[in-house]
Amino acid sequence: TVGKIITCKAAVCWGAGEPLKVEVVEVDPPKAHEVRIKILYTGICHTDEYTRSGKDAEGAFPVILGHEGGGIVESIGEGVTNVKPVRIIYLHLRRSFWFLEMYWFQGDHVIPLYTAECRECKFCKSGKTNLCGSVRATQGQGLMPDKTSRFTVNGQRVFHFMGTSTFSQYTVVADVSVVAVNPSAALEKVCLLGCGITTAWGSVVKQQGVKGSTVAVFGCGCIGLGVINASVLVGASRIIAVDVNPGKETWAREFGATDFVNPTKLPEGQRIQDYLVEITDGGLDFTFDATGNVDVMRAALEACHKGWGVSTIIGVAAAGKEISTRPFQLVTGRTWRGSAFGGVKGRTEIPGLVEDYLNGKIKVDEYVTHKRTLSTINDGFHDMHDGDCIRCVVDM
């Protein structure tokens, strides 16, 4: 199939707010510096729902969503050196009779990256950020770097999403937007490293000083639980989980939270930030927002200790939302910061994270609470709203 169009199935979102529709899609071969991937599994993340709903300012329709995938490289375009496709190699003829030995190499197991890593742009070379600038502009327009799409449905062009479009059985990504991982790791699990778990891990591990410090995490979904898991990993002294869903207490404690606070159960009129400051002798060393709610972001900042507390925004707020607090909160030494994909450089760091998973250092299996197939992917979107859903993985 190398160099040919592949016909397969994909979940297409035809317009803002519409449910996904499974369609027969034609996937063009990869052009230079592009990789075509057979997607085997994909998680569903709130950001897919955010864009589906029409709230994403960058949303372009029709589109193939999905950005938390795992798959196998099917073919590569010219100039691709970082991943290898499925290939068959015929070797020597033997003795007096014709004996053909055939070696079959499976394509690399890969994770598509919505935060590319080209290692050449100003951002990559700065050593200060994981936000690569190489393909971000076209990615935001739902296009490949040459400003065209590789997807067609009934002759109509369909947009890419986040440079990944993992809700398709085959997708094409830029070579800077994909990383090969250890094939002994189950893709139905490590696909989650394409967004949620890695984002949470990086947000904690790349933050200096969490070891021996107090932490509060607001929101106990995939990101929040990942923050708890990573805080345990680096040796935080106290980890307070905050969630309005009482069912999340068991989850939070299983992942290593030392305390659980339900803001709806506080004495009349007491704000969550005031309560946390009270029970932590002046506030937390570090707080993390994993909700995307701007009021929660404010509470997370204001729950920080005077003089040094640092609050990290991880959650994606709805388009147009703004954060606010009294400047005095910052003047008196609290820091408000944020990171995308946890500040992780995907090509450099995800292989190591997969090893950490294989060595039992980080949790991954535990997040998968729901499983769906491509034909029931819309149910996966509904699962996400259930209080007991951490991640739904779709078998493509």
Binding site residues, ligand AHE, CB under 6 A? 45, 47, 56-58, 131, 136, 195, 316, 319, 340-341
**Residue 25 or 162 having the CB closest to ligand AHE:** 162
**Whole-number minimum distance, CB 162 to ligand AHE, in Å?**
7
- By a kind-dependent CB cut-off of 5 to 8 A, residue 58 interacts, out of ligand AHE, Zn ion, none, with ligand AHE
Concerning whether 392 is annotated as a catalytic residue, the answer is no
Q: Which entry of 195, 220, 222, 304 is annotated as an active-site residue? A: 195
Which residues are 181's β-sheet partners? none
Phi, psi (rounded to 5 degrees) for 184: -80, -5
**Whole-number minimum distance, CB 46 to Zn ion, in Å?**
7
**Whole-number minimum distance, CB 235 to ligand AHE, in Å?**
27
Of 267, 222, 268, the residue nearest 243 (C-alpha) = 222
Q: Which entry of 121, 355, 369, 376 is annotated as an active-site residue? A: 121
**Whole-number minimum distance, CB 55 to ligand AHE, in Å?**
9
Concerning whether 124 is annotated as a catalytic residue, the answer is yes
- By a kind-dependent CB cut-off of 5 to 8 A, residue 136 interacts, out of Zn ion, ligand AHE, none, with ligand AHE
Strand residues in 18-138 grouped as ranges (E): 21-27, 34-43, 68-76, 87-91, 101-105, 109-112
Q: Report the alpha-carbon distance of residue 273 to residue 216 in Å, rounded.
A: 10
Residue 195 binding Zn ion, by CB under 5 A: yes
Concerning whether 191 is annotated as a catalytic residue, the answer is no
Of 66, 67, 63, the residue nearest 158 (C-alpha) = 63
* Residue entry with tokens 């160099």: 3
- By a kind-dependent CB cut-off of 5 to 8 A, residue 123 interacts, out of ligand AHE, Zn ion, none, with none
Q: Which entry of 109, 372, 391, 392 is annotated as an active-site residue? A: 391
* Residue entry with tokens 């709903």: 53
Q: Are strands 109-112 and 68-76 parallel, antiparallel or unpaired?
A: antiparallel
Q: Report the alpha-carbon distance of residue 88 to residue 102 in Å, rounded.
A: 7
DSSP 162: T
- By a kind-dependent CB cut-off of 5 to 8 A, residue 101 interacts, out of Zn ion, ligand AHE, none, with none
Residues 34-53 that bind Zn ion (CB under 5 A): 45, 47
**Residue 45 or 297 having the CB closest to Zn ion:** 45
Q: Report the alpha-carbon distance of residue 172 to residue 182 in Å, rounded.
A: 21
- Residues lying near Zn ion in the complex (CB under 5 A) are found at 45, 47, 195
